[in-house]
Amino acid sequence: MLSVKLCDVKLENPTILASGVLGVSGKLMSRVFENGVGAVTTKSISLEPREGHKNPTVLAGDDFIINAVGLSNPGVKASLKEIRYVKSKGIPIIASIVGKDVKDFGVVAKEVSKAKPDFVEVNISCPNVEDELGKPFACSVSDSSAVVKEVKANTSIPIIVKLAPNVSDIKVIAKAVEDAGADVISAINTVGPEKNEFLANKAGGVSGPKIKKIALEKVRSICSVVKIPVIGIGGISTGADAIEMLKAGAVCVGIGSGVYFRGIDVFSKVCDEIKEYMGKNNIKSVDEIKDK
């Protein structure tokens, strides 16, 4: 009833653990799978280990989380072991990658592909390291296209391109990455950066229910111009939220901050709520939701 196909990969349901939340170790990602998720995404992986920003890096409110973690991760070599562990459990896994320049993305993609994840997610949109690495690649048509082409040249694994909301016209960027060879688009990354004196970094990206309206608007815009599948991310913590995103055109929904608001079993809760909606409306498959 809830199963979906993302490219040629079958997921038991349309929920995906978004990058940056619980995607640190193989055992932790396996635990997320036990709590009902359809697929997991690693934290964004760089070529070399990154310490990220100093604490405090996260601030939570009633309907938002601001994070300035700064892409902390153990680097691609250490990450291969964790991806292989998840793969050995039969869990669909998306390896998120980040690079400091176009060539770097290609190198990381080639290395991470050795562990054979189901997808490589190309994070061209993180706003939390803007001062360090420059403007996100997702802000420019030419930069976005160049990164996608470089990654495609270095892996045969389907690639997901993660887009930023902080652009003048997300439709133009979405069409550009599709034309450059993206197999899937995920959107949106956090909104911001937003200034906050509590954070050591003094600014961070906003996620949680507060950004759901923005996420829905961006996903609708993307789906109006591309033919490839879209993973909708931003403010999803209930089945009703997920249904809104699916009606906006998304094939799957990414959940990150929802773990904070509803617990690690948010995935099974959301799936139960989608199932209840489908039963009440005589909907037989997730694909039908967008037409109701």
Marked catalytic residue, from 126, 139, 223, 252: 126
pLDDT of residue 290: 86
200: in domain? no
By the 8 A CB rule, do 111 and 56 touch? no
265 pLDDT higher than 50: yes
Select the more confidently predicted residue: 61 or 122: 122
pLDDT of residue 131: 43
233: in domain? yes
Q: CATH number, domain at 117?
A: 3.20.20.70
163: in domain? yes
pLDDT in tens, 145-178: 999 999 999 999 999 999 999 888 999 999 999 9
The rounded Cα 95 to chain-centroid distance in angstroms is 10
pLDDT of residue 193: 73
Task: Give the chain's mean pLDDT.
Answer: 91
pLDDT in tens, 116-135: 999 999 999 754 444 444 45
59: in domain? no
Half-sphere exposure of 199 (CA within 13 A, CB side): 23
122: in domain? yes
Is 252 designated active site?
no
Nearest to 148 by CA among 112, 195, 97: 97
Q: Which of 45-54, 85-94, 121-130, 185-194 has maximum average pLDDT?
A: 85-94
Select the more confidently predicted residue: 82 or 141: 82
56: in domain? no
Nearest to 125 by CA among 185, 188, 79: 188
Structural domains in the chain (count): 1
Select the more confidently predicted residue: 1 or 38: 38
64: in domain? no
- Segments forming the whole domain that contains residue 215: 4-46+74-194+205-291
pLDDT of residue 135: 58
